[in-house]
Amino acid sequence: MRLLIVGTLKGQLTTATKIAMENGATVTHAEDHEQAMRVLRGGKGADLLLVDVALDIRDLVMRLEAEHIHAPIVACGITNDARAAVAAIRAGAKEYIPLPPDPELIAAVLAAVANDSRELVYRDEAMAKVIKLAQQIAGSDASVMITGESGTGKEVLARYVHTRSARAKRPFISINCAAIPEHLLESELFGHEKGAFTGAIARRIGKFEEATGGTLLLDEISEMDVRLQSKLLRAIQERVIDRVGGTKPVPVDIRIIATSNRNLAEAVREGTFREDLLFRLNVVNLKIPPLRERPLDILELAQHFVKKYAEANGVPMRPISAEARRVLSTNRWQGNVRELENTMHRSVLMAQGDEIGPDAILTPDGDRLDLAKTVPAVAHATMAAEQVTRALVGRTVADVERDLILETLKHCLGNRTHAANILGISIRTLRNKLNEYADGGIPITPAGTPGEYPRMPMVGA
């Protein structure tokens, strides 16, 4: 986590810096906008700007936008002036923090922006195999492709690989290829020279150069435009990049980790992803299984999140009840770990009593998860299936077979040939069965007659 503090903050700067560093942030100071821009252009970069509300935040936002620099701003001030806070947010700040700084609030903001607080928690053998492979290849410089559904923890695993590599003490730079507009992504990755485009008033170092010596994570790389993929391929192959508007190649020393929630082989066939780039990136593939395929991880992660959010919110850490554990274990978790984390955060806040019960395991809409996880049509089908199952319990196979044959024949208005085709049996077998039922005194639907009639002495086609 790289934090850039802009302004003097009237004596509160030292305290804010100390709190940020205690929470794992690397802190750089700038006295004003000009110095802040020089820091950002020069390659040090920042994941978050903590800016004195007394400065012109709108001006700083416009400078960042003009030079295609993407970094969230959090305003802070020594007063609880609501108007100043509202003005700062309207100017483009993401949040406002009153000073003196509250340690928990600073920590929460850093965690929300950097997402560094996420830990790799697992118990299931399916996930253990992935971690074992990650450990095995972490020490190399091989490119890694991490695949899996959204919310499975791809970035968490990427950081895990980085922290166990020889580059662990160097930068870990992440860029979401899906979150940055196509026309800005090239400058974000490779940087630009002064005058390269309108607003490029100075040289800007891109993510490749920021990550030199460390690791560059290309998150959701499948969303990158094909035209930019060719430049990325050159950068990976030759370990040099060209800044936008530049004339001289710039050497870089980085390890590439990429993630995708799409089938890249299918994207290659569709022409939206370069096959040669896939080969370069996919030296090692770490495929994270969805949470529903690693059931032992569900409760392990749930307990981890309960502890985490109980501490963060200052509430008692309640155990998860047996019934709540059953609800968690049987849910399919379409949003994977991210969905589970949000669910457990809600449960910590909503739980009452000594345990977290199923009444606290809620959807984002506030419905109980075990009562609201199917749409009406699916719920109706599930109920019908359960009714059919209950109706079959205690009956013999012969009884079930007889009712199926007779109901099918009735549905076909007595047409033996049609009924036999539906049942998947020969017409001869059907006739034998019907004769058997007739001999037993059971009414048989005659051919071409839509009703039930008394026993017939003969059964014809």
Read off the pLDDT of residues 303-326 as tens digits, 9 standing for 90 and up. Answer: 999 998 898 888 999 999 999 999
- Is the pLDDT at 186 greater than 60? The verdict is yes
At 395 the pLDDT is 74
Report the percent of the chain where pLDDT is more than 70.
85
- Is the pLDDT at 107 greater than 70? The verdict is no
How many CB atoms sit inside 10 A of residue 346's CB? 18
* Domains within the chain, CATH numbers bracketed: 2-114 (3.40.50.2300), 125-287 (3.40.50.300), 294-360 (1.10.8.60), 389-439 (1.10.10.60)
Which amino acid, residue 203? R
Could you tell me the two tokens for 38?
């020089």
At 117 the pLDDT is 46
For the residues 126-132, what does the mean pLDDT come to?
Answer: 95
At 411 the pLDDT is 77
At 78 the pLDDT is 73
At 370 the pLDDT is 86
For the residues 433-448, what does the mean pLDDT come to?
Answer: 84
Q: What is the pTM of this model?
A: 0.65
User: Which of 61-70, 94-103, 215-224 has the lowest average pLDDT?
Assistant: 94-103
The answer to whether residues 173 and 191 touch, using CB atoms and an 8 Å cutoff, is no
Q: In the structure, what pLDDT confidence band is assigned to residue 9 with cuts at 50, 70 and 90?
A: low
For the residues 88-107, what does the mean pLDDT come to?
Answer: 77
For the residues 204-221, what does the mean pLDDT come to?
Answer: 92
For the residues 86-113, what does the mean pLDDT come to?
Answer: 75
At 131 the pLDDT is 95
Of 423 and 125, the one with more pLDDT: 125
- Is the pLDDT at 162 greater than 50? The verdict is yes
Of 105 and 94, the one with more pLDDT: 94
Q: CA-CA distance, 373 to 335, in Å (whole number)?
A: 13
For the residues 32-46, what does the mean pLDDT come to?
Answer: 83
- Is the pLDDT at 18 greater than 90? The verdict is no
User: Which of 96-105, 180-189, 296-305, 400-409 has the lowest average pLDDT?
Assistant: 96-105
At 292 the pLDDT is 93
For the residues 53-72, what does the mean pLDDT come to?
Answer: 84
At 445 the pLDDT is 84
Mean pLDDT across the chain, nearest whole number?
84
Q: In the structure, what pLDDT confidence band is assigned to residue 20 with cuts at 50, 70 and 90?
A: confident
At 458 the pLDDT is 38
Cα distances from 332 to residues 150, 302, 373, 376, in angstroms, run: 14, 14, 9, 17
- Is the pLDDT at 30 greater than 70? The verdict is yes
At 346 the pLDDT is 94
- Is the pLDDT at 457 greater than 50? The verdict is no
At 146 the pLDDT is 97
State which of 19-23, 67-71, 323-327, 377-381 shows the largest mean pLDDT. 323-327
Q: CA-CA distance, 182 to 177, in Å (whole number)?
A: 8
Q: CA-CA distance, 280 to 276, in Å (whole number)?
A: 6
Of 203 and 321, the one with more pLDDT: 321
- Is the pLDDT at 449 greater than 50? The verdict is no
At 389 the pLDDT is 52
At 254 the pLDDT is 94
State which of 163-167, 168-172, 312-316 shows the largest mean pLDDT. 163-167
401-414 burial: b if 16+ Cβ within 10 Å, else e: ebeebbebbbebeb
- Is the pLDDT at 280 greater than 50? The verdict is yes
User: Which of 115-119, 169-173, 240-244, 286-290 has the lowest average pLDDT?
Assistant: 115-119
- Is the pLDDT at 183 greater than 80? The verdict is no
At 50 the pLDDT is 87
Task: Give the chain as a 3 state SS string.
Answer: CEEEEECCHHHCHHHHHHHHHHCCCEEEEECCHHHHHHHHHCCCCCCEEEEECCCCHHHHHHHHHHCCCCCCEEEEECCCCHHHHHHHHHHCCCEEEECCCCHHHHHHHHHHHHCCCCCCCCCCHHHHHHHHHHHHHHCCCCCEEEECCCCCCHHHHHHHHHHCCCCCCCCEEEEECCCCCHHHHHHHHHCECCCCCCCCCCCECCHHHHCCCCEEEEECHHHCCHHHHHHHHHHHHHCEECCECCCCCEECCCEEEEEECCCHHHHHHHCCCCHHHHHHHCCEEEECCCHHHCHHHHHHHHHHHHHHHHHHHCCCCCCECHHHHHHHHHCCCCCHHHHHHHHHHHHHHHCCCCCECHHHCECCCCCECCCCCCCHHHHHHHHHHHHHHHHHCCCCHHHHHHHHHHHHHHHCCCCHHHHHHHHCCCHHHHHHHHHHHHHCCCCCCCCCCCCCCCCCCCCCC
At 384 the pLDDT is 47
